[in-house]
Amino acid sequence: MRILLTGATGYIAQRLLPALVQDGHTVVCCVRNRDRFHPPEALRTSLEVVEADFLDERTLGELPARIDAAYYLIHSMSASEDFREMELRCARNFRKAMQGRGLQQVIYLSGIVNEQGLSEHLASRKDVETELALGDHPLTTLRAGIIIGSGSASFEIIRDLVEKLPVMIAPRWLDTLCQPIGIADVVRFLRHSLLRAETYGRSFDIGGPDVLSYKEMLLGFAKVRGLKRWIGVVPVMTPKLSSYWLYFITSTSYKLASSLVDSMKIEVVCRDHALAELLNITPIGYEEALHRTLQKVESNAVISSWKDSRISGRFESEVSEFIEVPRFGCFVDQRSRTFKDRAQCIERIWRIGGNTGWYSATWLWRIRGFMDKLMGGVGLRRGRTHDDRLDVGDAVDFWRVLYANKEEGRLLLFAEMKLPGEAWLEFKLVDDRLQQTATFRPKGLSGRIYWYAVYPFHGMVFSGMLKALTR
């Protein structure tokens, strides 16, 4: 079967892709930028890659004529203020593009929407479901709540809160009930619902066996990690304060924090377990999902992460638009130093940021990250998904990877911190020297003042980093 997989660079799709290939399907991976798509070599013979942006109908002409079924896994998670309209437009364009192709099924992963009053985020998911159902194809909707898995936003937020705060004074939405589900079970439901006629034209709630409050989930994580934690719930905390509380303590972006807080006031509990019975699937419990997830994290086997999505940073356009570093009207700090071992130098560059840090003046990087958080930026807590691998589009603390080529010996990063301008950081090996270039394109007078204010620290930060990389 030829299966269209939309959102192929996303968190869920990257987990589902190997399972579809294992089942013998040819998977047409739909991405906005093929340079950001890095499937394992073992899968490539079973894949076709198509560039398409469902926000722009003009880009959909390259979709193949013959497709047997499709997965709709496009979610904005509040990429902008008008995310509800954006999600609906994506769904409408997808429906129109699939019209008349004779699809046997479309599968959509949505959120649990059983309450009368829904958050903007959950209401948007329901709108998308209604729009997709208007197509000439049978629609199967799977509705999930909190997904527990290595790299998922929900898991990372739980881990940040529990591991950083021995005592929590938390908003009252921590008493809201939800039904978490492990990522492995989400993939099983998506995989085994494919081309099952009994699921056509129906929606199903999927969840694990445990119905827990968010407070119980946090304490459950503490138990698995062997940590003692105390959580107090205060009756009064505005949504805005709650969003700031989540944003400053965890690695999430403010937009995502706001969206999550809005949704956390709504109970997300399954109506029934009809699909589990139909497919003969027994989901694992919350603690077991945590144990499996932590094993993946500890073995550095995280396949995908929400942090590598563009919406976790400041990008509102294609990464490729920033890959040509400007020179006119820019301030440039370029340094170079000889190295003795090329392979070792590259290895150090490719491990930069995250758990490794920035090799020099760590305290200054932390201060800059804290200041960025105060100004509404991403800060340093976002880290990186893999300790020793970088791909185009990956997040590295408050930077985004624009270009990464080990053979060429070149890494280009773009700053996603709050700045009065735009900044690039480039590492390039030329003969036996490492060239390290920081470029800043100021925006107005404030940008120029900023450059001269931080310039005295460059000698300490950039010089020390260059020495460590070439040592």
Give the 3-state secondary structure of residue 183: helix
- CA dist 354 and 360 (Å) reads 14
Nearest to 32, CA basis, from 369, 409, 319? 319
pLDDT value of position 77: 53
Pick the residue with more confidence: 442 or 345? Answer: 345
Question: What is the reported pLDDT for 315?
Answer: 45
What was the pLDDT predicted at 251? 62
Residue 219 has pLDDT above 70, yes or no: yes
Q: Name residue, tokens 């550095």.
A: 300
367: confidence class by pLDDT, cuts 50, 70, 90: confident
Average pLDDT of the residues in 206-221: 93
pLDDT in tens, 91-108: 999 999 999 888 999 999
Q: Say whether pLDDT at 419 is over 90.
A: no
Mean pLDDT of 332-338: 92
**pLDDT over threshold 80, residue 442:** yes
- pLDDT for residue 468: 92
pLDDT at 433 over 80: yes
Q: Which of the two residues, 286 and 82, has the higher pLDDT score?
A: 286
Structure confidence at residue 457 as a pLDDT band (50, 70, 90): confident
Of 46, 49, 77, 87, nearest to 147 by C-alpha is: 77
Q: Output the pLDDT for position 124.
A: 86
pLDDT tens per residue across span 117-144: 777 778 888 999 999 999 999 999 999 9
Mean pLDDT score of the chain, rounded to an integer? 84
- Which residues 6+ apart lie within 8 Å of 181 measured at CB? 144, 145, 146, 147, 148, 206, 207, 208, 283, 289
**Band of residue 262 on the pLDDT scale cut at 50, 70, 90:** low
The per-residue pLDDT for range 265-316, each reduced to its tens digit, is 788 899 999 999 999 999 999 999 998 888 776 654 444 444 445 444 444 4
Q: What is the mean pLDDT of residues 37-57?
A: 86
pLDDT of residue 267: 87
Residue 142 phi, psi dihedral angles, 5° rounding: -105, 125
Angstrom distance (rounded) from CA 341 to CA 52: 42
At residue 387, the pLDDT reads 78
Residues 327-333: what's their mean pLDDT?
A: 81
Residue 220 in this model has a pLDDT that exceeds 90 = yes
